[in-house]
Amino acid sequence: MRGLLRWFSPVLFCVLACACASLHGDEDLAVNVTAKFEGEHIFRGRREINKAFVPKLRVSYSCLDDCRVYAGADAALALALPADDSFFLDNVSPYVGVAYDVTDIFTLDAGYIHYFYTKVPSGAANLGIKRNSDEIYGGVVADVILTPSAYVFYNFGRREVAIEGRVGYTFDLSDNLLSGLAVDLGGKIGYDRANKPFGMAYIDGYGKKDYFYYGASADLVYGINDNAKASIGVEVSSNSAKKNAWVNGYGSAGNKTKIWLNAAVECSF
């Protein structure tokens, strides 16, 4: 039954999200729905799930000329259970926030996220991993070439501070190839320090509590119509932690540099 629910959940999510989007007619209200499949689910440089379905739902409303409030939820659901149940962190993360355009270039963004881990591995549960944690964040986005952004996060449950910067660029291939075709490139670098990640004292056996992480992505995107697009791509992620650090698999030695494929469908209304 569990396996059936996991494969049915992507379909159920898409049906509910599209039904929600079809109900609104306010031009100030925007709904974005994404259904993504990932060969690896990496969060801030740490591996949480292998082969995951990652649905996202975001609703935003322009309450003033320069201000938008938004709410939504992201999830990461494993598509296959590991044989030993050693690494498996299904989670759902609802959030709310507000974005304010300070100038035509700079936007300030701040909000709150609640992380709820619906399944904790049996081995990790013995280490005191918590199912719930709360996080606040603030950042700035610049509407210039590469669309750079910088964010700071603080997680109360993990006593965790994270700083992350991102850049991105889109190459429009419509003039040379198929109409609606583009390539999205992205890059990120971050720093994470957790005094008590998921209730555990350290992230590795050496007492080291912080690490840097970095990643890049390249996606081939096809615009189906004005409201929908599909993409396939490749991503890479790595970090400065040791191979046997918690962020690389609960103390089990492994390859901390991950490369994986993804596919997604995104609809905006």
Compute the CA torsion angle 222, 223, 227, 229 (nearest 10 deg).
0
pLDDT at 108: 97
Q: Which two tokens stand for residue 177?
A: 């190839």
pLDDT at 206: 55
pLDDT at 87: 52
In the chain the domains, ranked by start, together with CATH numbers, are 2-268 (2.40.160.40)
User: What are 253's strand-pairing partners?
Assistant: none
pLDDT at 165: 98
pLDDT at 85: 47
Q: Which two tokens stand for residue 234?
A: 């490749």
Q: Which two tokens stand for residue 161?
A: 């501070």
- Series of mean pLDDT values for 10-residue runs along the chain (269 residues): 40 46 64 94 84 93 89 89 57 93 95 84 54 91 95 90 96 79 96 71 59 95 92 94 70 70 94
pLDDT at 254: 57
pLDDT at 124: 53
Q: Which two tokens stand for residue 148?
A: 């750079």
pLDDT at 217: 97
Q: Which two tokens stand for residue 186?
A: 């992205």
Pick from 31, 21, 20, 37: nearest CA to 76: 37
Q: Write down how long the chain is.
A: 269
